[in-house]
Chain A
Amino acid sequence: MQKVPLPERPGWRERATELGFTFADMGGEPYWDETSAYRFSLRQIEDDIEDPSTELHGMVREAVATALASDEWLERMQIPQQFWDFLADSWKDGEPELYGRMDLSYDGHGPAKLLEYNADTPTSLYESASFQWDWLEEQQRLGVLTADTDQFNALHEALVARWAEIAAPDTDIHFAADPDNPEDYATVEALAWAAREAGLGAHFTSLAAIGLTEEGQFADDQDRVIGTLFKLYPWEDMLRDEFAAHLGPSGVRFIEPPWKAVVSNKALLPLLWQMFPGHPNLLPAFFAADVAEALTGGAPATRVANAFAAAQDVLQQGHVSKPIFSREGAGVVIREQGRETDRAPDDSYDDHPRIIQALAPLPEFGGFHAVIGAWIVGESCVGMGIREDASRITHNLSRFKPHYIED
């Protein structure tokens, strides 16, 4: 894994505009940045990212079964009790997952570490699947990269195949998101392109315009009843909205399925560590409530005493604290050697319980900290996107960087 300075493609901004990639620059700063790219070997991709991520997803599925069967875990995950059956039934019925993005700390050596799994509403999909792909094709055509180079990016094809697997031909899928947020909108649009290619009908509706019919079904902004709904809106919010009581009775099939509420929840991380302690791709993780005192000289909660003792030295050296619900790095605090060394400026999720996770610092390349986004479609890892930031905590304006494979 190396960061390689490369010439930008002439006219790429015009190309981005023409394609509808309207947020290539955000807040006066580049969001898509191709002044350099990350180069990987095939072995790094396959052995360190692809296979471990697929394995992690399998472990996550085991953790889902455990969480859904445990009142205690559901409570700690702050899943409102009236929805426990709703979530558990979606799992028992085998409702299939569509996609997710694992954020990994990886520097080219040794096992990648799972920082968190956004398995419910991950964005940056268009950039990863499409604009990044186009970048490689064009750089090869321009002779900047050789024809032998490749990219870990089978996202679009995998999404088309997955849609075809999980929905009968001609099924109408509604895609709901906030139309005023270009990143969110681009993400559902990329998914909708894939759905169309899979022979499904794709319709957009503004999330806020969804209505409830007199029969208790959900209807889109044009009063069409919704059968299958992809929502770029977190389950944790869905379960707390005014329409929450109608989720089950509406008969809607939701994508992601309701059981994903326990996957995108950061309380999953302590659960994974409890189930697979010492796994090379996992970081020691605990509920802050169980270990906060122990980190300052007190005693840990009995239920985690042994596991904490085993991880104590690592955690003392450095750990990250984050709210169980949060997006885009909000609420993240880093402590090293007992001192707070970094804090995300956004504290909007701070009302929620926190987890503590051993620090796996993001590798620094030329003053930027890079985080790997490993894309899962269905149950397999099928692609990768990289974000980097001058800050150690990745956030919503962090740059997207293209990558290529060259041995």
Chain B
Amino acid sequence: MTEKLQTRTGIPPAPRKRSRHVALFLAGAAVMTLAACEDDKTDAAAFPDLDSCVSEARKGSLFFTEQDCQTQFAQAQQDYLETAPRYESQELCEQEHGAGNCGGDPAQAQSGGGMGSIFMPLFMGYMLGSMMGGGRGISSQPMVKTAQGGFSTPSGNQSFASNRGVGKVPTSAFAKAPSTIGKPPMSRAQVSSRGGFGAASTARGGMRGAGG
């Protein structure tokens, strides 16, 4: 080794064909890490139903109590009724939320109908957030299904792979979505303001990555 080094003395180092350094780390599928200007994060926990929230609260390891589960479940159901997206046809609703994930508008059913048919994604659970920093205690959001098989808040601004689990989410995910109750349901043209990329496929087959 020493000998080798000596013979090289005075000779400029051979040009090297690789980078001097590289960025080694990825964050895996932690989507948020790329958003440099993302907002504050807060602790959140999602549950498909009231019971699973309660049994988690009894363990006492998270940020909410059994009482929070109850209160927020009622709140989430109320928010669901007020803010979940409303569509003018079942077909359009299922296109956005997946087959079998839609139903009629419960508010319309209560009021005796009269507005024509309105369809909504089903209530699929709720998400609790710790809003301690702002002095607001515990906040919640109802969850509905997405067409991709995941779950989202009613506004669709945050989506999740599951309706069960804990994690950090942006505080904005707990902002109440605009009210949809009593408003005319969305037509196909209104829906298309998002999701206009990714549907066309020159491959006629099933799921595949877009890259190659």
Contacts and interface: CB of A to CB of B under 8 A. Distances in A.
Interface of A: 19-22, 42, 45, 118, 121-123, 126, 129-131, 133-134, 136, 150-158, 175-190, 192-194, 197, 201-204, 206-212, 221-224, 231-234, 236-238, 240-244, 246, 325-328, 330, 346-352, 383, 396, 405
Q: Categorize the interface residue count of chain B.
A: 35 or more
Interface stretch (B16-24, B49-57, B67-75, B103-111): B16-24
Nearest to A329: B212
Interface stretch (B31-39, B58-66, B119-127): B31-39
A151, A204, A326, A350 interface centre (most CB from chain B within 10 Å): A204
B210 A405 contact: no
B33, B35, B198 interface centre (most CB from chain A within 10 Å): B198
B17 A154 contact: yes
A208 B31 CA distance: 14
Given A150-B16, A189-B34, A203-B34, A211 B210 contact: no
Interface of B: 14, 16-38, 148, 156-157, 159, 161, 172, 192-206, 208-212
Contact of A328 (B27, B159, B197, B208): B208
A59 to B, nearest CB: 21
Enumerate the 3 nearest inter-chain pairs by beta-carbon distance, A residue then B residue, closest first: A348-B205, A243-B196, A20-B26
Nearest to A126: B26
A346 B205 contact: yes
B148 to A, nearest CB: 7
Nearest to A404: B18
A175 B211 CA distance: 13
A157 B210 contact: no
B212 A156 contact: no
Given A154-B18, A175-B34, A241 B202 contact: no
A154 B157 CA distance: 38
Contacts of B24: 19, 130-131, 134
A328 B205 CA distance: 13
B195 A152 contact: no
Given A133-B18, A240-B200, A243-B197, A156 B34 contact: no
Nearest to B37: A203
Contacts of B156: 209
B11 to A, nearest CB: 13
A176 B197 contact: yes
